[in-house]
Chain A
Amino acid sequence: MTARLTGACAALALALAAGAAAPALAHHSFAMFDFQAEKTLTGTVVQFDWTNPHTFIWLESPTGAAGAMERWGLEGMSPNYLGRRGWSKTTLNPGDKITVTIHPLKDGAKGGTYLKVTLANGKEMLNFN
């Protein structure tokens, strides 16, 4: 997974460096995310935005001091992309307990781009596939 994503990002970086007209990934670059780092969050879904140009998972996770709950905003591919690859607007629902692997934002804000979501029943859903 990581290898595949790293490959995609390497291709993107190469495309940008070469001044190519259209990177393989549409809409925006991933410069703000730290692709060298992976972070795993466990928590409760507050909201799942099944919207363009990106889906967003809003997650409450005990990442604060002494396990205080904090809200994370996690960006993923669009419903158009994910909807053709096994996801739907009901894949995640408010209250669902999930585990998410992300590349976090470089600036330390509570956000990132999600790679993999593990549902309560153990099923794994991939963002880039």
Chain B
Amino acid sequence: MPGSRFAGSLLICALLAAPAGAAPHPGNQGQSWADIAKLPPINGVYETARLPNAPKDGQRDLKPEFTPKAAAELAAYQAEKRQDTDAANCLPPGMPGIMSQPYPIQVLVTPGEITIIQEAYMQVRHVHTDGRDHPADPDLTFNGDSIGHWEGDTLVVDTVGLAPQAVLAQGVTHSKAEHIVERYRLSQPDLLEVKTRIEDPGVLAKPWEFTARYARHKDWSLAEYICEQNNRNSVDASGKAGINLDLKK
């Protein structure tokens, strides 16, 4: 029927003209194994690099600057002089802390997804590179919802949907608006540089930016890490740390 054909054409035109929620990114996005072979080879096992000129804490080259409200919350937390954090009870830190543990990570590039496995706490980050957008109302999780795309030789990973337990900074409550953008690039053949920018307008006075570097170990593979296997450390609700020294606990 001419009428329905007209309506169909209108629909197609509307779809073409609509501002795309997830505009396709130009260039090679690694949608097939053949395309992945042409991208920078970031597959591998890496360890946080302690370079001679690295800052003392290993990688954070700038401290976060907080809004007055968040700074007051942090000051109150520090006044409590808690001896430890929930990590002592084996709770993983979530993003961004899971990216700076003293254990290796593994990057796996597959068509439509880049998987970043952290040996510490055996965590997995799924970075969707199939062109999808974030869910409109994502469930809040420790590692968040991540989508990625390539801009030339740089992998850009965008993360939202972080649970309250995902530590932005110990003693500070982040908001649902926390937004992390990481830019991964091989700055040397076996050195993966990750520039991270974190926004959370009610909490961070300005975006928190830092650069981490990961050295590739071609002869390493990840090992098992079950934190509950023999965890003798603990922290109670008041922040008091404990250690279980019974041989047969």
Binding site for B on A (CB under 8 A): 7, 10-11, 14-29, 31-32, 46-47, 49, 51-54, 56, 58, 71, 73, 75, 78-81, 83-84, 105, 109-111
Q: How far is the CA of A21 from the CA of B233 in the complex (A)?
A: 20
- Known A-B contacts A24-B57, A29-B83, A49-B230; the reply to A19 vs B169 at CB < 8 A is yes
CB-based A-B contact count at 8 angstroms: 128
Q: How far is the CA of A129 from the CA of B204 in the complex (A)?
A: 35
Q: Given known contacts A27-B90, A32-B242, A83-B223, what 4 new A-B pairs fall within 8 Å (CB)?
A: A11-B58, A28-B85, A29-B83, A32-B83
Distance of B182 from chain A, by nearest CB (Å): 14
Q: Which of A16, A29, A58, A78 contacts B88 (CB 8 A)?
A: A29
Q: Please give, as numbers and ranges, the residues of chain A lying within 8 Å of B230 by CB-CB distance.
A: 49, 51-54, 56
Contact A19 B103 (CB under 8 A): no
Q: How far is the CA of A106 from the CA of B243 in the complex (A)?
A: 12
Which residues 141-170 of B have a CB within 8 angstroms of A?
167-170
- Who on chain B is nearest to A26 by CB? B101
B40 within 8 A of A: no
Contact B167 A22 (CB under 8 A): yes
Task: Please classify the interface of chain B as helix (H, G, I), strand (E, B), loop, or mixed, using the class held by over half of its residues.
Answer: loop
Q: Provide 9 A-B residue pairs closer than 8 Å at the C-beta atoms, listed in order of the A residue.
A: A19-B64, A19-B169, A24-B57, A28-B84, A31-B84, A73-B245, A75-B232, A83-B223, A109-B243
Contact A21 B232 (CB under 8 A): no
Q: Please give, as numbers and ranges, the residues of chain B lying within 8 Å of A46 by CB-CB distance.
A: 247
Contact B167 A52 (CB under 8 A): no
Which residues 109-159 of B have a CB within 8 angstroms of A?
119-120
Q: How far is the CA of A58 from the CA of B230 in the complex (A)?
A: 14
- Known A-B contacts A28-B88, A32-B241; the reply to A51 vs B229 at CB < 8 A is yes
Distance of A88 from chain B, by nearest CB (Å): 12
